[in-house]
Amino acid sequence: MAAKVVPYWQRVVAGLISLGLATAMWLPALHVFFAGNVTDYRIAGKIAPKARQLAARHIELWSDPELVEQEIAKMRSSNAEWDFMGRTFLVLSLANMCLAEPALEEEYLPVIDKIIGETIRLEQTYGFYHFLLDYGRARPFVVQPARSIFVDGEIAAMLGARQVVKQRADYGPMLQARVDQMIAQMQKGPVLSGECYPNECWMFCQSFALAAITISDGLDGRDHGEFCRQWINTAKQHLVDPETGLLVSSYTLEGFANDGPEGSTIWLVSHCLQLVDEDFALDQYTRARKELGRDRLGFGWSREWPASWRGPLDVDSGPVLPVLQVSPSASGLALIGAAAFNDDVFLHRLIASLNFGGFPRRHDDKLEFCASNQVGESVVLYALTLGPLWEKVKNLKKAADGI
């Protein structure tokens, strides 16, 4: 008897049904292969194995002039800011690691000093414009003499973090002078914000400046608390998006919004504000989690914009994947927010996404993410190690305030 021939269309339908059933069975479990054990990546107050491996990769980079020059040149070809920010997040990460494990000071402090020294040397040689995008030279800054709170704030944060770990006599006056310059600059603006670019104030940079001011106060006993409180009150009145309650990402010196809330800004801002106003910081994180944080099938990510607002793509936002509105840049910074506010579920899901899309590669006890670069990896390292530095600063402030 001749075998019955199944029509082609029936075979196609059967195949699609089988594929659909198989997908329905394995897709919900896919994240298991990428999530791993969260304690491999982050342990509060300690150094997790993956964080140690990622740090080793960057210690190797900064210990080899040729390697670090290649990495910096690669970043600067796209964005000079990435070169600068990569330095900042790496210094803060290493400071956290030294505080968590003091035996690392001998290895890490020389690297921190090398980064700080090289950064200040470049600023002194080429001016702060060296770390800005080209359009920073297109027109004059409104406030004169021109300074960028972006550069001042992050250099101050690096100096402050180093001093919290172990004080150097020459860094103290440098930090105090930088803080005085920042406050003078910010007070010249109607909304207490300094320019990052000509007539452009970025919330990311203001929050770093406020954190650096608070770190400095904890170290030298000065008190700029009233200024910080005035900044918070001004921001609540003038710099909050009325639709979401989130701080806007950029605005003019006069306080007119250029861009609404952005994921590549607010996650870091909420963390920095933990040193200034913990209640407001938590409010901003909670709103960001609602408006921007997303998770499906065990994977987590961040949108760049809330559903109520859509901004233009820029080099900081990076590409945004359609449909799900996945922003790799915002998702990387969401790791900082989730770690800072002990949002372990979201953090675990973000790590699963990082392992899925970041293409991790391990070699010689070093970890790198092939889909990222030095600044992206430094942000991840900071998220995996943050905690000890902020906690030490809070304790220093309490001691200075007699609490």
pLDDT at position 96 is: 98
pLDDT at position 109 is: 97
CA atoms in the 13 A half-sphere facing the CB of 278: 5
Phi, psi of 165 (to 5 degrees): -70, -55
pLDDT at position 58 is: 93
Phi, psi of 94 (to 5 degrees): -65, -35
pLDDT by position in tens, the chain (length 403): 444 554 544 444 444 444 444 334 433 433 444 456 778 999 988 999 999 999 999 999 888 888 778 878 877 777 889 899 999 999 999 999 999 999 999 999 999 999 999 999 999 999 999 999 999 999 999 999 999 999 999 999 999 999 999 999 999 999 999 999 999 999 999 999 999 999 999 999 999 999 999 999 999 999 999 999 999 999 999 999 999 999 999 999 999 999 999 999 999 999 999 999 999 999 999 999 999 999 988 889 899 999 887 666 555 555 665 556 678 889 999 999 999 999 999 999 999 999 888 888 888 888 988 888 889 999 999 999 999 999 999 999 888 777 7
pLDDT at position 73 is: 80
| Residue 119 neighbours by CB under 8 Å, 6+ apart | 84, 87, 155, 158
pLDDT at position 29 is: 39
Buried b (16+ CB within 10 A) or exposed e, 183-198: bebbeebebbbbbbbb
Rg of the chain over CA atoms, in angstroms? 23
Of residues 50, 46, 27, the one with CA closest to residue 360: 50
Which domains are assigned to the chain? 39-400 (1.50.10)
Identify whether the C-beta of residue 210 lies closer than 8 Å to the C-beta of residue 222. Answer: no
Identify whether the C-beta of residue 249 lies closer than 8 Å to the C-beta of residue 261. Answer: yes
pLDDT at position 324 is: 62
